[in-house]
Each structure stands twice: as structure tokens, then as C-alpha cells.
């Protein structure tokens, strides 16, 4: 991968690091509701950065290219959220480490599974799709890699399909976002909407980092849009 490719990965991992590690450190003692990490888990910042950096690199490299749009996406998001001062030489560390070991999604995800709550892993999945979409197209190769990561993160098939539908459009994507079949009755549509709105409601993350809340808000908006689409299609009140 090129020098700029590693810079792109660096920005991504710093975003995830700030979201998960900083929130964890700033909210010790608040319990599960305010901390994406499980209690009594010691997390080495360097180990966490390198593992998430490796995981993200699998998606970035999936289609065999790193586009300028991908670089601009991660750079703009990182700078606008945290400022230029947060940039440092972590990608250099990754560059050295990756030469000495093979990146394996399964082992990296096992590390994360032991240290993160389910909703945190959903946020990782959402962000990975965002990176894949940055160049305007999500390739089949990227989808396959993200799907494998989702499986290793122990996310359900329904959650993968739901988040994928927020980025990859088709005629039934509104139903997929709501995690229901197109044949369900109207009362099941309303029930599904309430369930998904509760699942992704930003108020659940009021004590988390802005970047983390932003991702939840994006998913919440997609759920609302999906429900409005289905409601209008069916003529529901």
C-alpha cells in the first residue's frame, strides 16, 4: 500500500481510538451504560490501535485500491471532529508491525469481542461501510470483507443486512433496514420501527464521544427514513 494509503488508515484508527478508548478512560466507574468496554478489562492503547488499524486496513485494501475520495473522507471527518493536532506517527508503527505479522480478521475480532459491547461493534460495522462507500461505490470485495468481519464480531445476520442496506440501495432496502420481510402486516411494521428506533436512539449515547453519537444519529435517521418509505408505500396512518 502507498504512503497515502497508510495515512488514510491512520485517520480511521485515530477516529475509532478516540471514540472507544477515550470514552472508556473518561467514564471509568460509570458502568456498562457509559462505557463501550466491558468492566475489568485492561486495554493497552497501542494494542487496541494496532488491532483496529489492521481490521480497517482489510476493508481499505479489499478492492485493491485506495482512492482520493477515501482519503478525503477520513481526513475531513477526523480533522473536523478532533483537529489536526491529533495526527501523529501511529501509521509508521503499523507499517513496521504489519511487516512482521499477517493480518487475520478472526484473531483481531476475538480481541475486540472480549473488550467491547455489542452496540460498539455495530458502530464499528457502520463505520467500515462508511469507509467503503467514500469513493461512491461499495464493491463486492468490500462487502465480502465486511461480512466476514461482522461474523467474527459476532453480529447477527439481520444486523449486518440492516446496516448494509443503509449504504447499498435496492428496492427492498427500507424493509431490510427495519429488519422485517416485505410480507409482514402493518402492525409488525410499526413494531419493528419502535424496536429499531429504540436500538439506535442517540439519547442512549448522551455520555459518549461526539463521533460515536454522530454514528448513532446517522443510523437513527436511516431507520426513520425507512419507516416513512414503508408507511407511504402502504398508505399507513
The CATH number of whichever domain residue 192 belongs to comes to: 1.10.287.110
The CATH number of whichever domain residue 37 belongs to comes to: 1.10.3680
**Within this chain, do residues 110 and 217 fall inside the same structural domain, yes or no?**
no
Structural domain of residue 48, as residue ranges? 3-155
Quick one: pLDDT at residue 170?
Answer: 82
Total tally of structural domains belonging to the chain:
2
Assigned C-alpha cell, 60 = 481499505
Quick one: pLDDT at residue 21?
Answer: 46
Neighbour-count burial of 205, counting CB atoms closer than 10 A to its CB (0-12 exposed, 13-18 middle, 19+ buried):
buried
CB 16 within 8 A of CB 57: no
Give the DSSP letter of residue 170. Answer: -
CB 205 within 8 A of CB 212: yes
Quick one: pLDDT at residue 74?
Answer: 60
Predicted TM-score (pTM) of this structure:
0.74
Q: Which residues of the chain have pLDDT under 70?
A: 1-50, 70-101, 204-212
Tens-digit pLDDT profile for residues 162-211? 999 999 988 789 999 999 999 999 999 999 999 999 888 877 666 555 66
**Within this chain, do residues 114 and 81 fall inside the same structural domain, yes or no?**
yes
CB 227 within 8 A of CB 181: no
Query: Measured between alpha carbons, how far is 219 from 214 in angstroms, rounded to an integer?
Result: 9
Quick one: pLDDT at residue 112?
Answer: 86
Could you say which of 155, 188, 205 is where a domain stops?
155
**Within this chain, do residues 104 and 173 fall inside the same structural domain, yes or no?**
no
Amino acid at each position: 500500500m502507498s504512503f497515502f494509503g497508510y495515512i488514510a488508515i491512520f485517520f480511521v484508527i485515530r477516529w475509532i481510538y478516540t471514540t472507544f478508548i477515550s470514552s472508556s478512560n473518561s467514564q471509568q466507574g460509570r458502568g456498562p451504560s457509559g462505557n463501550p468496554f466491558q468492566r475489568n478489562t485492561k486495554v493497552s492503547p497501542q494494542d487496541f490501535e494496532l488491532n483496529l488499524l489492521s481490521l480497517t486496513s482489510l476493508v481499505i485494501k479489499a478492492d485493491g485500491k485506495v482512492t482520493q475520495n477515501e482519503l478525503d473522507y477520513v481526513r475531513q471527518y477526523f480533522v473536523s471532529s478532533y483537529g489536526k493536532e491529533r495526527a501523529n506517527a501511529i501509521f509508521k508503527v503499523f507499517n513496521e508491525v504489519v511487516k512482521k505479522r499477517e493480518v487475520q480478521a478472526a484473531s483481531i475480532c476475538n480481541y475486540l469481542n472480549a473488550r467491547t459491547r455489542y452496540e460498539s461493534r455495530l458502530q464499528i460495522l457502520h463505520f467500515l461501510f462508511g469507509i467503503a462507500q467514500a469513493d461512491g461505490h461499495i464493491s463486492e470485495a468490500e462487502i465480502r470483507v465486511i461480512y466476514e468481519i461482522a461474523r467474527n464480531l459476532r453480529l447477527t445476520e439481520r444486523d449486518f443486512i440492516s446496516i448494509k442496506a443503509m449504504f447499498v440501495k435496492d428496492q427492498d432496502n427500507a424493509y431490510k433496514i427495519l429488519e422485517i420481510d416485505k410480507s409482514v402486516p402493518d402492525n409488525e411494521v410499526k413494531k419493528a420501527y419502535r424496536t429499531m428506533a429504540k436500538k439506535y436512539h442517540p439519547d442512549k449515547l448522551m455520555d459518549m464521544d461526539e463521533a460515536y453519537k454522530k454514528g448513532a444519529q446517522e443510523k437513527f435517521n436511516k431507520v426513520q427514513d425507512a419507516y416513512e418509505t414503508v408507511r407511504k408505500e402502504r398508505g399507513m396512518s
